[in-house]
């Protein structure tokens, strides 16, 4: 009897070993994960409520582990930044026919309340099946409604908000929660960048020419005012000479000796310039 009991125990241990390690009768669900367990006999699905240790019916129940933490899916022009290595930027056409390259990031996680439905419809590869195609489609559709300069700066935040709303509505139908969309970078095509540079150069040249023309106009006005002043000065001098012919002698002597005060006009007359000038001022 003792030998038989020992045999039974040995067989039992072997059976348990086979069940545990070969048929996987248990799973361990880590924090931030949930398991969807499929029953092959009934076709039903059950979702583990929390992390922990769970037993399975051997050969009947098949588990699939889902990472339900929030993740970020990035499409970027930078080679090592996005989910796909190399240039994975999103190319789109604006309403005015310009090509733009967009870097975009989407924060998402599976809908925890409908994880069994997500598993039944899409499975663990839901990112490539739905999320990535929806991002590309919705971004291109919204960008096509705006001119290139609005996409680049003017209405960039508005465009980001529209993308986030439409993408959240679309992903929700597929049991995926969209938390946030970031339109991280916008680049023009090389041709458009060159066109912008040429336009900036032309604007700078136009500003320079405007400055030159304004300067010339001011110089013209200055010369006109100066000429008018000289003309008025000549008119006044002409009038003074007409009224006082002796001023001609004064102007002539002044050129010869600027500091002279009086001259003898004949043997009996002394012409005093100081007295003459004072008389003119009165």
Q: Is 86 in contact with 55 (CB distance < 8 Å)?
A: no
Q: For the CA atoms of 71, 77, 81, 83, what is the dihedral angle to 10 degrees?
A: 50
Cα 178 to Cα 166: distance, rounded to the nearest angstrom: 10
Greatest distance between any 2 Cα atoms in the chain? 176
Cα 117 to Cα 175: distance, rounded to the nearest angstrom: 7
Cα 202 to Cα 85: distance, rounded to the nearest angstrom: 39
Cα 231 to Cα 251: distance, rounded to the nearest angstrom: 18
Confidence (pLDDT) at 223: 76
Question: Spelled out in words, what is the top-level CATH class assigned to the domain 71-188?
Answer: alpha beta
Q: H or E segment at 207?
A: helix 190-243
Task: Encode the chain (282 residues) as per-residue pLDDT tens digits.
Answer: 555 676 767 777 776 666 666 667 889 999 999 999 999 999 999 999 999 999 888 889 999 999 999 999 999 988 778 778 778 889 999 998 888 999 999 999 999 999 999 999 999 999 999 999 999 999 999 999 999 888 888 799 999 999 999 999 999 999 999 999 999 888 887 776 666 666 666 677 677 777 777 777 887 777 778 777 777 676 666 666 666 666 566 565 565 555 555 555 554 554 554 555 555 445
């Amino acid at each position: 009897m003792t030998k038989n009991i020992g045999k039974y125990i040995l067989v039992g241990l072997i059976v348990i070993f086979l069940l545990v390690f070969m048929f996987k009768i248990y799973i361990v669900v880590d924090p931030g994960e949930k398991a969807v367990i499929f029953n092959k006999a009934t076709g039903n699905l059950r979702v583990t409520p929390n992390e922990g240790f769970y037993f399975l019916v051997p050969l009947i129940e098949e588990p699939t582990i889902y990472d339900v933490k929030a993740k970020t899916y990035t499409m970027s022009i930078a080679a090592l930044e996005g989910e796909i290595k190399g240039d994975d930027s999103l190319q789109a056409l604006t309403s005015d026919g310009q090509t733009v390259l967009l870097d975009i990031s989407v924060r998402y996680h599976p809908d925890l309340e409908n994880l069994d439905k997500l598993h039944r419809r899409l499975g663990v590869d839901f990112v490539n099946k739905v999320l990535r195609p929806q991002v590309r489609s919705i971004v291109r559709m919204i960008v096509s409604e705006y001119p290139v300069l609005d996409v680049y700066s003017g209405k960039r935040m508005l465009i980001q908000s529209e993308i986030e709303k439409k993408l959240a509505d679309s992903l929700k139908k597929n049991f995926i929660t969209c938390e946030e969309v970031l339109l991280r970078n916008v680049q023009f095509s090389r041709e458009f960048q060159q066109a912008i540079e040429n336009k900036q150069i032309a604007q700078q040249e136009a500003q320079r020419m405007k400055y030159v023309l304004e300067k010339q106009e001011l110089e013209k006005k200055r010369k006109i005012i100066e000429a008018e002043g000289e003309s008025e000065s000549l008119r006044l001098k002409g009038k003074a000479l007409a009224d006082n012919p002796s001023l001609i002698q004064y102007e002539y002597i002044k050129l010869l000796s600027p500091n002279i005060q009086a001259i003898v006009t004949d043997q009996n007359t002394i012409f005093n310039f100081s007295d003459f000038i004072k008389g003119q001022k009165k």
